[in-house]
Amino acid sequence: MQLSQILQSNAVKTIASCTSKKRLFHEIGDMAESCYGMKPSAVIDALIERENLGPTGVGQGVALPHARLPGVEDVKGIFLRLEKPLNFDAVDRQPVDLVFALIAPENAGVEHLKALALVSRTFRNASVCTKLRANSDPVTLYTILTALESSQAA
């Protein structure tokens, strides 16, 4: 699995300001609708429900909110770069500025876990995070996220 298989180029965005986790989830819901045809309220509710089980802020300014939804056929990703970091109740108590949301089919056990592992590995790479934080253009951000595939394949 590669990031380009779960992340469309139009599902990448920089947000100037976001005031809360709930507002962020609304932004993700809106993007899920425009990029993948998902119902925004279903996405928002599923993300909030998952977040209530435990925060998805994994540390180092990164959050990986994720949820499973009925009617979704494949794992889909949405990447948001926040210009103003947001309190996300992360494990290291640091605010979050890089957010990669995953929406998976309701019964996607292994595929969901593979996607989560792939995204987690990508964001553990300090060089990738530094490049993402240094750029705000969505095309550049998408290229940074998917460029690893070319270098790993070579």
**How far is 18 from 21, CA to CA, in rounded Å?**
8
pTM for this predicted structure: 0.91
Number of alpha carbons in the 13 Å side-chain half-sphere of residue 61:
15
Please name the amino acid found at residue 27.
Answer: E
Q: Looking at 66, 68, 76, 81, which residue is catalytic?
A: 66
**How far is 88 from 93, CA to CA, in rounded Å?**
8
**How far is 24 from 84, CA to CA, in rounded Å?**
12
Query: Is residue 153's pLDDT more than 70?
Result: no
Using one digit for the tens of pLDDT, what is the confidence trace for 23-40? 999 999 999 999 999 999
Query: Is residue 151's pLDDT more than 70?
Result: no
**How far is 118 from 13, CA to CA, in rounded Å?**
20
The whole-number pLDDT of residue 137 equals 93
Confirm whether 112 is a catalytic residue. no
The whole-number pLDDT of residue 48 equals 92
Q: Could you give the residue ranges of the DSSP H alpha helices within the chain?
A: 3-6, 21-36, 40-53, 109-124, 126-133, 138-153
Query: Is residue 149's pLDDT more than 60?
Result: no
CATH code linked to domain 3-153: 3.40.930.10
52, 51, 64, 69: which is closest to 107 by C-alpha? 69
Going from N- to C-terminal start, the domains of the chain cover 3-153
